[in-house]
């Protein structure tokens, strides 16, 4: 499910369109030698071809969700990285410390780093980059509302100040949207990412929304990249991505349909699965009938067999969801969802005034870029019908539909959302998606009690204490029947003769220095 602010210029994209953040992330790797043979040895200076699910929609502007595309391609980096545990780790900054005023953090920069065009990484360069992204008309979610301002502190440090103390500022600065570009990048609109990043790969050719070609950054500050060249083709059709992988036209194919993913479990392929923070959910518009009535929302929840969705509709490639947060995070639920209860659903509908003589009819919207969603929609439609709800499925382009969703002009919508995508801290998602003033509150949920529950997150720094709030928030959303978390799912495929691929549960990296073609 995407996570956009309220109505924004058309150039912004939603993170639903950012590939590879998974609740069940499946990396399909060929065993040594792979199909058709081979030695498994790394090809020096090899070439890799990617079939990526999501094309840039805003000219690679880093203040939009295009930032996740260039981050995955190894072009850009931020001051901070986030580890598998969701905690901040050094990247372009090697250390940071909150200052005595509590509103300012000082970041020490990694020495000797240059941008791909040869310009040096300095405190002023970092300040220029951060002030740009914080000052655009529609700031990205990671920094929106923080009042962020940056200033150089000599040549090798930067001071970042926010309007109020921000306990997770280092995590905010791990967002792909806070990528640091060379000062010369900001002479263009949007700022150019060609030759101005610090990552292991440099863009050499842009072909609109069709493809991009990259070459190794030989001055990269980290490990020397194994691949000399990478070509990324943007292939929106999931079946076409699977076909490209099968035909050998792609070394890596993102977001394979669950049926296709199962085809790559034999003939030399190894299927690796890791939990990651993504939930496919059914959003219910509470701002108007019928879902303004909690009984109708509860009826929908009771009608849906989430275990069947994960184990049957998606052929076991998904984890049934009992709440918003799943097993990918320490505070997520490990419990199975409650069984479906169509009889209870019908009783609740009757209380709300719906029966055979006055059936509930709704539109169920979704999109096909994530291959599992239409499959889930069809299964949900049947489950709702058994409970007395007639749902008409409408599959369309998410970007075209988003203004209606944000304005509350819909009934129910099935989407997929990485709840740690922007910032690896659930506070951001809980506030934007479920707070009364949330910028992406598609459910149109507003509860003063829920907002009060989140209030301590503004000052709490202890991870355990924050996680306790996250648990309570997820339980409150279930109690109030705010949408229906369905499954935690997605898939990534890796084709023949590839080494060094690792699944990033936070969807920020794909082309890393160790990624290589093998013989």
Q: Residue 233 phi/psi, 5° resolution?
A: -100, 135
CATH classification at residue 289: 3.10.105.10
* Domain coverage including residue 455: 278-488
- Domain assignment present for residue 3? The answer is no
Flag whether 9 is in a domain. no
Q: Does any domain span residue 401?
A: yes
Q: Is residue 428 part of a domain?
A: yes
Residues 353 and 473 in one domain: yes
CATH number of residue 93's parent domain: 3.90.76.10
Q: Are residues 209 and 333 in the same domain?
A: no
Q: Are residues 379 and 467 in the same domain?
A: yes
What mean pLDDT value characterizes the chain?
89
Shared-domain flag, residues 428 and 304: yes
pLDDT at 85: 75
The CATH number of the domain where 240 resides is what? Answer: 3.40.190.10
Segments of 91-200 assigned E as strands: 93-98, 104-109, 149-152, 157-161
SS3 (DSSP) at 361: strand
Tell me what pLDDT residue 5 has.
Answer: 28
Tens-digit pLDDT profile for residues 176-210: 999 999 999 999 999 999 999 999 999 999 999 99
Same domain for 291 and 270: no
Q: Are residues 35 and 80 in the same domain?
A: no
For 343-393, what is each residue's pLDDT tens digit? 999 999 999 999 999 999 999 999 988 888 999 999 999 999 999 999 999
Boundary (domain end) residue, out of 162, 192, 222 = 192
Distance CA 351, CA 358 (A): 12
Say if residues 34 and 497 touch (Cβ distance below 8 Å).
yes
Token pair belonging to 356 = 């055979």
Give 273's pLDDT tier (boundaries 50, 70, 90).
low
Most distant pair of Cα atoms in the chain: their distance: 74
* Assigned domain for 354 exists: yes
Asked whether residue 8 is domain-assigned, the answer is: no
Taking residues 485-509, report their average pLDDT.
Answer: 80
Same domain, 305 and 399: yes
Residue 200 Cα to chain centre, angstroms = 22
Residue-wise pLDDT for 387-441, tens only, equals 999 999 999 999 899 999 999 999 999 999 988 877 889 998 999 899 999 989 9
Q: 218 with 310, same domain?
A: no
Please state, in angstroms and rounded to a whole number, the distance separating the CA atoms of residues 65 and 177: 7
Same domain, 289 and 267: no
Residue 39: strand, helix, or coil: coil
% of the chain residues with pLDDT over 90: 71
Could you read off the pLDDT of 318-338 as tens digits, one per residue?
A: 899 999 999 888 899 989 999
Given 164, 192, 220, the domain boundary residue is: 192
Residue 283 lies in a domain: yes
> 96 φ, ψ to 5°?
-155, 155
- The answer to whether residues 25 and 53 belong to one domain is yes
In this model, does residue 13 exceed pLDDT 60? no
Where would I find the H helices in 211-256? 238-247
How many of the other CB atoms lie within 10 Å of CB of 455? 11
C-alpha distances (whole Å) from 466 to each of 20, 162, 456 are: 26, 20, 8
Number of compact structural domains in the chain: 3
| Residue 49, strand partner residues | 231
């Amino acid at each position: 499910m995407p996570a956009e602010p309220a109505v924004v210029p058309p150039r912004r994209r939603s993170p639903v369109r950012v590939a590879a953040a998974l609740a069940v992330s499946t990396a399909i790797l060929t065993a040594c030698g792979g199909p058709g043979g081979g030695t498994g040895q790394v090809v020096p200076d090899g070439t890799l071809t990617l079939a990526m699910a999501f094309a840039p929609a805003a000219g690679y502007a880093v203040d939009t969700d295009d930032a996740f595309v260039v981050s995955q391609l190894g072009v850009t980096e931020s001051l901070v990285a986030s580890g598998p545990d969701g905690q901040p780790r050094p990247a372009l900054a090697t250390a940071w410390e909150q200052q005595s005023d509590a509103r300012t953090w000082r970041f020490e920069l990694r020495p000797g780093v240059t941008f791909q065009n040869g310009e040096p990484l300095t405190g002023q360069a970092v300040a220029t980059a951060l002030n740009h992204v914080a000052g655009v008309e529609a700031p990205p979610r990671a920094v929106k509302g923080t009042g962020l301002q940056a200033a150089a502190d000599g040549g090798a440090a930067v001071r970042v100040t926010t309007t109020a103390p921000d306990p997770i500022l280092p995590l905010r600065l791990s967002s792909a949207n806070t990528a640091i570009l060379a000062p010369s990048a900001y002479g263009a609109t949007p700022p150019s990412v060609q030759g101005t990043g610090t990552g292991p790969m440099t863009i050499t050719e842009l072909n609109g929304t069709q493809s991009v070609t990259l070459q190794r950054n030989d001055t990269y500050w980290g490990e020397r990249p194994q691949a000399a060249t990478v070509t990324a083709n943007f292939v929106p059709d999931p079946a076409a991505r699977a076909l490209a992988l099968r035909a050998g036209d792609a070394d890596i194919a993102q977001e394979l349909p669950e049926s296709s993913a199962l085809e790559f479990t034999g003939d030399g392929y190894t299927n690796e699965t890791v939990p990651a923070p993504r939930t496919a959910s059914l959003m219910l518009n509470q701002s108007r009938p019928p879902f303004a009535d909690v009984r109708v929302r509860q009826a929908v929840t009771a009608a849906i067999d989430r275990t069947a969705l994960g184990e049957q509709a998606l052929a076991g490639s998904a984890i049934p969801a009992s709440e918003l947060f799943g097993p990918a995070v320490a505070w997520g639920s490990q419990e199975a969802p409650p069984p479906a209860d169509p009889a209870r659903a019908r009783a609740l509908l009757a209380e709300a005034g719906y029966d055979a003589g006055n059936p509930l009819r709704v539109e169920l919207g979704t999109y096909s870029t994530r291959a599992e969603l239409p499959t889930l929609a069809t299964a949900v439609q049947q489950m709702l019908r058994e409970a007395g709800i007639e749902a008409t499925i409408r599959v369309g382009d998410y970007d075209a539909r988003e203004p209606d969703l944000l304005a509350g002009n819909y009934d129910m919508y099935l989407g997929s959302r990485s709840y740690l995508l922007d910032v690896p801290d659930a506070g951001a998602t809980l506030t934007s998606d479920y707070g009364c003033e949330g910028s992406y509150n598609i459910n149109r949920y507003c509860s003063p009690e829920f907002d009060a529950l989140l209030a301590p997150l503004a000052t709490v720094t202890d991870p355990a204490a924050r996680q306790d709030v996250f648990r309570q928030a997820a339980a409150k959303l279930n109690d109030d029947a705010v949408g229906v978390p369905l499954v935690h799912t997605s898939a990534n495929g890796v084709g023949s003769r590839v080494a060094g691929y690792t699944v990033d549960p936070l969807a920020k990296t794909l082309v890393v220095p160790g990624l290589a073609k093998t013989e």
